[in-house]
Amino acid sequence: MSRKYIDNPNACTLVHTMNTIGNKWKPIILYLLSQGPLRFGMLNLLVPTISKKVLSTQLKELENDDLVSRTAYAETPPRVEYALTQKSKGLLPILKALSEWAEITYPEIDFEQCRIADHQLKEE
Amino acid sequence: MSRKYIDNPNACTLVHTMNTIGNKWKPIILYLLSQGPLRFGMLNLLVPTISKKVLSTQLKELENDDLVSRTAYAETPPRVEYALTQKSKGLLPILKALSEWAEITYPEIDFEQCRIADHQLKEE
DNA sequence: ATTTGTGGTAACCTCAGAGTAACTATGTCT
DNA sequence: AGACATAGTTACTCTGAGGTTACCACAAAT
């Protein structure tokens, strides 16, 4: 047997990457932050179907993996801003490539349907 | 509010991509197949910690998404070969980029530890 | 007659991730 | 005094992805 799992450490890094960002919410969070820092409440507005608990968990995990930075301002009511880090900025072109790949590969899927989320958004 | 979920359909395609290949086993299956077609049993050997049932499920889903082709030969005992498709071949450079990103971003992680899987492999 | 090899399927179980709803701290506004 | 706003936490439930074990069909080999 010439081809062995042992010869494929790349597969391991892939598994790790998927464990890190390959879940239901993290790609979308990273994508939204790619356009600038956002507050907790604004993230919650932009992704109306995520619960505060889950959003909190995801952000904490992203912070642990150094993919998101958290800045709390000592005000009342509190203000907390989340932003991308150097590590996650390196990920952006890859996320973009994944996005384009899906668009090209599955032209029959209407990705615009996400717009339903718009109904739940308020104007600023 | 200028930045809306509605303005970010890219995020939707990301979610879709992650739903399609962002789970525990599919990236590793695709990566192994990138070096050539493999039979069911060989995939099971190369990923010794996956159960036959789960491997079967994953391959079926990949086939449904047209990311893997399944060729059964009418022999006894049966022989079935799995291979990448045009769609998944377009994914390979992106998977490679993800892999390299993880290696560069998390240099403290020893991705070589996957080699433990080697103990369970037999020579061909 | 029984075992072997291959590529599965069926029935069942488990547990982490996700969801829900209520609650908190703090200062400001009415 | 009470309501409001932000950024959470706590306690609870629920779902489904993944895991385990046993079994099947078929022909060839022993």
Distance B40 CA to C5 C1' (A): 13
Q: How far is the CA of A121 from the C1' of D4 (A)?
A: 20
Closest CA to B33 of B71, B69, B83: B83
Put simply, the answer to whether A106 touches B16 (Cβ < 8 Å) is: yes
- pLDDT per position as a tens digit, B39-97: 999 999 988 889 999 999 999 999 999 999 999 999 989 999 999 999 999 999 999 99
Measured between CA atoms, the residue of chain A closest to residue B25 is A15
- CA nearest A84: which of A64, A99, A100, A62? A62
Interface test with A, best of B65, B98, B111, B121 (most A CBs within 10 A): B98
ipTM of the shown complex: 0.85
How does residue B120 score in pLDDT terms, banded at 50, 70 and 90? very low
Residue A124 is given by DSSP the state -
Number of domains chain B is built from? 1
List the domain range (segments joined by +) for residue B94: 5-120
> Quick check: B122 pLDDT over 90?
no
State the pLDDT at residue A117.
40
Per-residue pLDDT, A113 = 59
Q: Where residue B56 sits, what CATH number does that domain have? A: 1.10.10.10
| pLDDT-based confidence at residue A114 (cuts at 50, 70, 90) | low
Q: Looking at B5-9, B23-27, B90-94, B112-116, which range is the least confident one?
A: B5-9
Q: How much of chain A exceeds pLDDT 90, in percent?
A: 61
SS (H, E, C) B2-27: CCCHHHCHHHHHHHHHHHHHCCCCHH
| Cross-chain Cβ contact A18/B14 below 8 Å | no
- Dihedral in degrees, nearest 10, Cα atoms A82, A83, A88, A94: 100
Percent of chain A with pLDDT over 70: 83
A18-22, B7-11, B18-22, B119-123: lowest mean pLDDT where? Answer: B119-123
* B3:A113 CB<8 A: no
